[in-house]
Amino acid sequence: MTAPRRLIVSGDDFGAAAEANAGILRAHRDGILTSTSLMVTAEAASAAVAGAREHQRLAVGLHLVLAQGRPVSPPEAVPMLVGSHHGFGERPIANGLRYAWAWCSTVGRRQLVREVEAQLEAFAGTGLPLAHVDGHCSMHLHPVVLPILLGCAPRFGIRAIRLVREDLGAALRHDRRHAARKTFEQVVFRTLSRLAEPRLRAAGIRTADRVYGMHQSGHVDEAYLLGLLPRLRPGLSELYCHPAERQPPAMARWQSGYDHEGELAALTSPRVRAALAREGIELVSYHEA
């Protein structure tokens, strides 16, 4: 018997700004979005939590922020992780190198552990059930960050973590723009996911069989979804995106060119909903997976 096709549709950056909160909640209420990821230190995090409490079927995970944001810990307590502006660096690759260097010292390791635990504790303080963990710029898969999450898993009830693995060929057939960037992303994150997968399996932490959205980040529009849905294979898939009612000013310098409104329109499209029904794809979250 062929396994059913199940799909998690997740909106990242919940709490980043009012525009993102409104888009994610609308995409859930009026569309196909089943899950979201909360940035616990972002400016609209409290409003996001309040919105999630009003939409109890919306699964909420932690969007671990170690780039392009600020720490939960006092900056003076994690000086090896932050810059002179008391926030994390804006360039994920440079941050990754910083954290690898920090890991080489006992002090640096303690600071990384402290901050990851602080973000998990802040999420626990919301009272929301933790659906999963992922990361802004996928920093949760960094080789020194993932072991911290694994160590925290029993204490904080981490049962699912996003692995970023996507079909590059299919992505390029849909949109050949930025092929060099997409190829670089593929090499980096396929390697990190292959290293992470056996460790997650050994820890009993669930992952989706495949994840979509990285190569189309900011442009998960209706055409993309209508092309993707018939190609979904049996098993559990995740699609992540960044819907918002308009571009959040708080995120504009990092998400230049993102079509947030187009993504929201796609997630609430009657044509997309009809395609899901026609293909017999079940919408789920990590809670049900």
The pLDDT of residue 82:
93
How does residue 221 score in pLDDT terms, banded at 50, 70 and 90? Answer: very high
**What type of residue is 174?**
H
Q: Which domains does the chain have, with CATH numbers?
A: 5-284 (3.20.20.370)
10-38 average pLDDT score = 98
Percent of the chain's residues with pLDDT above 90: 77
The pLDDT of residue 3:
83
Question: Please, is 222 exposed, middle or buried when counting C-beta atoms within 10 Å of its C-beta (0-12, 13-18, 19+)?
Answer: middle
**What type of residue is 231?**
R
Least confident of 137-141, 238-242, 248-252, 268-272: 248-252
The pLDDT of residue 275:
98
200-215 average pLDDT score = 95
How does residue 1 score in pLDDT terms, banded at 50, 70 and 90? Answer: low
Residue 287 has pLDDT above 70, yes or no: yes
| Gyration radius of the chain's alpha carbons | 18
Inter-axis angle of helices 260-267 and 18-30, nearest 10: 20
**Residues linked to residue 130 through DSSP beta bridges, in sequence order:** 60
209-236 average pLDDT score = 94
The pLDDT of residue 37:
98
Residue with tokens 């997650």: 200
27-43 average pLDDT score = 97
CA 22 to chain centre: 17
* Nearest-angstrom CA–CA distance, 176 and 180: 9
The pLDDT of residue 168:
74
81-97 average pLDDT score = 89
**Residues linked to residue 235 through DSSP beta bridges, in sequence order:** 5
**Residues linked to residue 8 through DSSP beta bridges, in sequence order:** 238, 284
DSSP string for residues in 158-211: --BB------HHHHHHH--TTHHHHHHHHHHHHHHHHHHHHHHHHTT-B--SEE
Say how many CA atoms lie within 13 Å of 28 toward its Cβ.
26
Q: E-assigned strands of the chain?
A: 5-14, 35-38, 59-64, 130-135, 210-212, 235-241, 282-284
Q: Give the pair of three-digit tokens for residue 162.
A: 């996003």
The pLDDT of residue 178:
80
Least confident of 10-19, 119-128, 166-175, 197-206: 166-175
Whole-number mean pLDDT of the chain? 94
The pLDDT of residue 54:
97
The pLDDT of residue 137:
93
Q: Give the pair of three-digit tokens for residue 154.
A: 């029993």
Percent of the chain's residues with pLDDT above 70: 100
* Nearest-angstrom CA–CA distance, 123 and 70: 15
Cα–Cα distance list, 146 to 191, 231, 241 (Å): 14, 30, 22
